[in-house]
Chains A and B, each alone.
Chain A
Amino acid sequence: MPRVLVLFAHPAYEKSRVNRRLVEAIADLDEITVHDLYEAYPDFRIDVAAEQARLVAHDVIVLQHPFYWYSAPALLKEYLDLVLEHGFAYGSQGHALDGKLLMNATTTGGAESAYQIGGRNRFTMRQLLAPFDQTAFLCRMTYLAPFVVHGALRIDAEGGLDVAERRYRALLVALRDGTLDLARAVEGSRINDLVADA
C-alpha cells in the first residue's frame, strides 16, 4: 500500500486558520505521516540522513504550506536544498526517489481569479509552482497538479473551508489507497476537482 508523507511547513502555526484545519483533518488517517518541519527544526538544523530515510520510506510526498511570496516558507526550501542531495535524489547515481509522487498542497491569500494570465498575480498556479514541478522532474518523480485553497484570508466554514477540508482528506485517502486517476492528476490546474465528489 502506498504510504503518504506530508511535509508540513508553517512558521506561524498559532496564527494559521486554513492550514491548521487542513492538517488536523488528516492527522488521524492511517498510513499517512505528517512531519511538522518548523516543530522539528526550529534552528534550521535539518537531519539530512534521517530525512532521506523518511523520503525513501514513503511513496507519495505532499508539501503542505502557505503560499509565501509565490513560493514555500524558508524552512521548506532549506529542506529541499539540503535533503535532495546529488547522488541521492538526482544525478547518475541518485535514484532513491525514482517514480515517487510529489505534490504541493498550499493556501493563497488571493482569489483564484488573481492567479490567471492577465490577473493581478499575472501567472497561473502551475506556472508559479514550476520550480517544484522541475524539481520532481530532475528527481525522476511524478509531479501532480497542486491542491490549492484560494482566498484563505476571507474563507470561513460556510465560505468553503469545510469543503476544502473534506476534499483534502479524500485526496490523501485516494493517494494512500492508490485509487486516484494519475493520468488526470498530472494534468489540469488543480487536483481539487478530481476528488470533488468524494
Chain B
Amino acid sequence: MHDNLLAQAFVYLAAAVAAVPLARRLGMGAVLGYLLAGIAIGPFGLRLVADGAGDVLHVAEFGVVMMLFLIGLELRPAALWRMRGAVVGLGGGQIVATAALGCAAGVALGVPWRMALAVGVIIAMSSTAIVLQSLAETGRLRTDAGQRIFAILLSQDIAVIPILAVLPLLATSPPPAAAEMHGVGALPGWQQAIVVLGAVAAIVAGGRYLLRPVFRAIARTGLREIFTATALLLVVGIALLMQAVGLSPALGTFLAGVVLADSEYRHELEGDIEPFKGLLLGLFFISVGAGIDFRLVAAAPGSLGALVLGIMGLKALVLVLVARRAGSVMADALFIAAALCQVGEFAFVLLGMARGAGVLPDQQAGQLVAAVALSMLATPLLLLAHARLVEPRLAGAAPTREADAIPDEDTPVIVAGFGRVGSTLGRLLRASGVGTTVLDLDGDRIEVLRRLGLEAYYGDATRLELLQAAGAARARILVVAVDDFAVTERLVEVARRHFPHLRLIVRVPDRPEAYALLRDGVSEVHRETVGTACDMGYATLRALGHRAFQARRAVQAFRDHDEQGVRALADKWGDDRSYFSAARARIAESAQLLASLDFVDRHFDLAWDNTTLRDEALGRPSAATTPEPPSTDSVEE
C-alpha cells in the first residue's frame, strides 16, 4: 500500500482531517494536531506510512520551501530596513549568544570545539513553520511580543545564508561519502562559499529583471490557472536549481520571494501559493511527527531527554535575557522564550549538510535530528502550558494589556479597482499621506502605475486569498471602485462575510444599485455620476451669472437633498424586489425627482435672508415663513 500514491495521500489527508479538528477542539492548536497525527500513522504508531523519515520529509519539505517563499514575499526590503534594530539586536544577539553558550557547553563536555560550535550554531535556529503557524492561530502575530518573535525568526532566516557558507569550513574530517554529495559538496570550502554567493546573486538578478516581464505577459493572457501554474513553476524551478548546486531549496525560494516582494504580482502570488503551502506545511508537520525515531528514544531515553532539555533550557535562558535587554516585560520575555526555544526545520537542513561536509559524525547527527524533532513536538505543548499556567498568574501582575504593535507595512486602506474613479481617489489618498494598497485586474495599467511610483498589485479582488494577501484582516477600509457592478456585489459579499470589521466605501453606477446596497446595510454608497453632475451644475449657474458663494451653497444643498432622497427611497424597495415594490419605488422616485425641481427656488439664499427681520422692523405682517433662523444684522430694537 505504501507505493500507491493515492493510498498514501489518503492516509495523510485522513490523518490530518481526523487529528487537527480534534486537537483544536482540545485546545491544542493545529500544529500539535498534525504532529500527533504523524506519530499516529508513523512507523511507531499504526505503521500506515513508510519507514524512514527521510522519505516522507523529502516530500513535505516542499511545504517549508513554499512557506519561505511566502515569508520572503512579505519581506520587502523597506520593511526589512524598518525592523533592522530588532533583527540585528534581538535576533543577532540570540544567535551569537546561543552559539557561544552551546559551544562552551559542548567544550565543557569534552566535544571538539569545531563540532561544538557547529552544533551551537545549528541549535540557535528556531522553527519558523511551527512558531508562525501557532502565533497566527492564536492571533498573537501582531502583538509586541509577536513582532519581536518575528524579528528573531527573520534574523535566523537571514543568518542561514552565512551559516551555510561557513559551516563546511568547520569540517574536521573529510566528507565520509563523496558520492552522496551533489555539485559543490565536493569542492573545497572557499570555493563552496563562492558558489553559494554566486547562486544567491543569480536569483536576485533573475528575480529583479527576468521574472516581472514574464509575469506581465502571463497576466495579460487573463488565464488565472496559468498564472497559478507559473507561480508553482517558479517555486519548483528554484528549488530544483538550488538542489542542483547543493543548496537548500528553502533558502533559494526565500530569496526569490524577497526579490519579488516589491513586484506588483506579489499579492496574486501569495494568493496562489497559500493553499498549497497550507497543505504541504501540514504534511511537513505530519512527517516530522512520523519521523521521530522512537528507537533512538527507547535506546537512550535518559541522554536524549537530557539533550532535549539542555538545548531548550539553554535557548530559553538566552531568549529571556536577550528579550529583557531589548526592553520586553517579563511576561513577554517568557512568552518569547516558550515560543522560540525549540530547534527548527532549518536544523534538519544544516545537520544534513554538516554530516555531509564531515563536520558531524553520523551518530551525533542522528541523535540531534531526533532531539530537534522532539523539541518541535514539545513546542505546542509548551505554548499551551504557558497560556494555561504562566499567563494567568502574570496577568494579575501586569495591569495593562500588551498593546498591538502597529503593522509595519499593512496599509489602512485597500482600493479595489483603479480605473477612472479609483485612480483619482487613490492619488488623493496618497497625496494625503494615507497608505493604500491598490488591486486591479489590468496588468498593463498596473505596470504604468508602478512606473509612476504607485503601489499597485495585479489580481482579482473578489478572491478571498487575494484580499487576505492584500492585508484585509488588518486594513480598516475597503474602497470598492470597480466598474462592473456584478463584481462590486460579489466583492461586497466576500468582504462582509470574511472581514466584517472592514468599513466599505462603495462606488455604484446609479440609483437602483444604490438602493440594493443600502437595503443590504452598506451605508457608504456613492453614485459615480452625481459628483460630476453637481460640478457641471455649478459651472452652469456661474456661467448664468449667479454669485459663486450662492451657487456653491445651492449645489451643496441640492446634493444633500438628493442623497437623502436616495436613502429614503431605498426603504421603499421591497425585500422581494418584486414588480410591485419596484413599481411603487419608481413612482415615489419620480415624485421625489420632481420635488427637487423647485428645490433651488425654495432653498436658494435663505441664509442671511433678512426679509422677516425687515418685515418685523417695519411693522409689516410677515409673509415668508423661513425654516431657518434669520441670521443677519444684529437684533433690531
- Distance A38 CA – B546 CA, assembled complex (angstroms): 12
Q: Among B51-59, B90-98, B443-451, B626-634, which stretch is in contact with chain A?
A: B626-634
Closest residue of A by beta carbon distance from B636: A109
Q: How many A-B residue pairs have CB under 8 A?
A: 76
Selected from B550, B614, B618, the residue in CB contact (under 8 A) with A14 is: B550
Render A95-137 as a binary contact track against B, CB cut-off 8 A, 1 for contact: 0000000000001111101100000110000000000000000
Q: Which of A1-52 contact B (CB under 8 A)?
A: 11-15, 38-40, 42-43
With known contacts A38-B549, A154-B617, A15–B633 Cβ distance under 8 A: no
- Distance A120 CA – B636 CA, assembled complex (angstroms): 9
Q: Among B99-107, B452-460, B483-491, B601-609, which stretch is in contact with chain A?
A: B601-609
Render A57-83 as a binary contact track against B, CB cut-off 8 A, 1 for contact: 000000000111110000000000000
Question: Contact: B548 with A38, CB < 8 Å?
Answer: yes
Interface size, chain B (Cβ < 8 Å)? 24
B142 interfacial contact with A, CB 8 Å: no
Please report whether the interface of chain A is mostly helix, strand, loop or mixed according to DSSP.
loop
What's the least CB distance linking B551 to chain A, in Å? 7
- Distance A39 CA – B551 CA, assembled complex (angstroms): 10
Question: Contact: A66 with B632, CB < 8 Å?
Answer: yes
Closest residue of B by beta carbon distance from A107: B633
A positions within 8 Å CB-CB of B: 11-15, 38-40, 42-43, 66-70, 107-111, 113-114, 120-121, 152-154
Closest residue of B by beta carbon distance from A150: B633
- Distance A120 CA – B366 CA, assembled complex (angstroms): 101
With known contacts A109-B613, A153-B614, A42–B549 Cβ distance under 8 A: yes
- Distance A128 CA – B25 CA, assembled complex (angstroms): 76
B552 interfacial contact with A, CB 8 Å: yes
Question: Contact: B634 with A15, CB < 8 Å?
Answer: no
- Distance A158 CA – B551 CA, assembled complex (angstroms): 34
B611 CB contacts on chain A under 8 angstroms: 15
A109 CB contacts on chain B under 8 angstroms: 610, 613, 617, 632-636
- Distance A109 CA – B636 CA, assembled complex (angstroms): 6
- Distance A106 CA – B212 CA, assembled complex (angstroms): 68
With known contacts A153-B614, A153-B617, A154-B617, A38–B547 Cβ distance under 8 A: yes
B632 CB contacts on chain A under 8 angstroms: 66, 68, 109
Q: Which of B552, B605, B608, B614 has the most chain A CB atoms closer than 10 A to its own CB? A: B608
What's the least CB distance linking A15 to chain B, in Å? 6
A69 CB contacts on chain B under 8 angstroms: 631, 634
Closest residue of B by beta carbon distance from A152: B633
What's the least CB distance linking B538 to chain A, in Å? 9
Question: Contact: A39 with B635, CB < 8 Å?
Answer: no
- Distance A11 CA – B554 CA, assembled complex (angstroms): 13
- Distance A68 CA – B610 CA, assembled complex (angstroms): 12
B225 interfacial contact with A, CB 8 Å: no
With known contacts A66-B632, A109-B635, A110-B637, A11–B608 Cβ distance under 8 A: yes
What's the least CB distance linking A105 to chain B, in Å? 14
- Distance A166 CA – B156 CA, assembled complex (angstroms): 88
Closest residue of A by beta carbon distance from B538: A42
What's the least CB distance linking A75 to chain B, in Å? 8
Question: Contact: A12 with B634, CB < 8 Å?
Answer: no
What's the least CB distance linking B602 to chain A, in Å? 15
- Distance A111 CA – B637 CA, assembled complex (angstroms): 8
A70 CB contacts on chain B under 8 angstroms: 634
Question: Contact: B547 with A14, CB < 8 Å?
Answer: yes
- Distance A96 CA – B618 CA, assembled complex (angstroms): 46
- Distance A43 CA – B555 CA, assembled complex (angstroms): 12
With known contacts A38-B547, A39-B548, A39-B549, A12–B609 Cβ distance under 8 A: yes
Closest 6 CB pairs of A and B: A109-B633, A12-B608, A42-B548, A42-B552, A38-B549, A42-B549
With known contacts A43-B552, A109-B610, A13–B547 Cβ distance under 8 A: yes
What's the least CB distance linking A20 to chain B, in Å? 12
A121 CB contacts on chain B under 8 angstroms: 634-635
Question: Contact: A153 with B547, CB < 8 Å?
Answer: no
- Distance A43 CA – B634 CA, assembled complex (angstroms): 25
Question: Contact: A110 with B634, CB < 8 Å?
Answer: yes
What's the least CB distance linking A23 to chain B, in Å? 13
With known contacts A67-B634, A69-B634, A14–B610 Cβ distance under 8 A: no
- Distance A121 CA – B610 CA, assembled complex (angstroms): 19
User: Can you list 14 residue pairs at the A/B interface with Cβ under 8 Å?
Assistant: A11-B549, A11-B608, A12-B550, A38-B549, A39-B548, A42-B549, A42-B551, A68-B632, A68-B633, A107-B633, A109-B617, A110-B634, A152-B633, A153-B618
What's the least CB distance linking B626 to chain A, in Å? 12
Closest residue of A by beta carbon distance from B633: A109
What's the least CB distance linking B224 to chain A, in Å? 46
Question: Contact: A66 with B633, CB < 8 Å?
Answer: yes
Given contacts A38-B547, A69-B631, A153-B613, 13 further A-B contacts (CB under 8 A): A12-B550, A12-B605, A12-B607, A39-B549, A40-B548, A42-B548, A42-B552, A67-B634, A68-B634, A69-B634, A109-B634, A121-B635, A153-B633
- Distance A50 CA – B395 CA, assembled complex (angstroms): 61
- Distance A110 CA – B605 CA, assembled complex (angstroms): 22
B549 CB contacts on chain A under 8 angstroms: 11, 38-39, 42
- Distance A40 CA – B549 CA, assembled complex (angstroms): 8
Question: Contact: A108 with B634, CB < 8 Å?
Answer: yes
Closest residue of B by beta carbon distance from A13: B547
B633 CB contacts on chain A under 8 angstroms: 66-68, 107-110, 152-153
Question: Contact: B607 with A11, CB < 8 Å?
Answer: yes
Closest residue of B by beta carbon distance from A40: B548
What's the least CB distance linking A152 to chain B, in Å? 6
What's the least CB distance linking B179 to chain A, in Å? 79
- Distance A120 CA – B635 CA, assembled complex (angstroms): 9
B550 CB contacts on chain A under 8 angstroms: 12, 14
- Distance A153 CA – B635 CA, assembled complex (angstroms): 10
- Distance A42 CA – B552 CA, assembled complex (angstroms): 7
- Distance A153 CA – B637 CA, assembled complex (angstroms): 11
- Distance A121 CA – B637 CA, assembled complex (angstroms): 9
What's the least CB distance linking B546 to chain A, in Å? 9
Closest residue of A by beta carbon distance from B614: A153
Q: Which of B329-352 contact A (CB under 8 A)?
A: none
Closest residue of B by beta carbon distance from A15: B609
B617 CB contacts on chain A under 8 angstroms: 109, 153-154
Closest residue of A by beta carbon distance from B550: A14
Question: Contact: B634 with A153, CB < 8 Å?
Answer: no
- Distance A2 CA – B618 CA, assembled complex (angstroms): 42
- Distance A182 CA – B119 CA, assembled complex (angstroms): 95
With known contacts A38-B547, A39-B547, A43-B552, A14–B605 Cβ distance under 8 A: yes
B552 CB contacts on chain A under 8 angstroms: 42-43
Render B384-415 as a binary contact track against A, CB cut-off 8 A, 1 for contact: 00000000000000000000000000000000
With known contacts A14-B605, A110-B634, A154–B548 Cβ distance under 8 A: no
- Distance A113 CA – B636 CA, assembled complex (angstroms): 11
A66 CB contacts on chain B under 8 angstroms: 632-633
Q: Which of B541-573 contact A (CB under 8 A)?
A: 547-553
What's the least CB distance linking A107 to chain B, in Å? 7
B609 CB contacts on chain A under 8 angstroms: 12, 15
Closest residue of B by beta carbon distance from A106: B633
B607 CB contacts on chain A under 8 angstroms: 11-12
B637 CB contacts on chain A under 8 angstroms: 110-111, 113-114, 120
What's the least CB distance linking B601 to chain A, in Å? 13
- Distance A109 CA – B613 CA, assembled complex (angstroms): 9
Q: Which of A11, A66, A67, A108 has the most chain B CB atoms closer than 10 A to its own CB? A: A11
B608 CB contacts on chain A under 8 angstroms: 11-12, 15
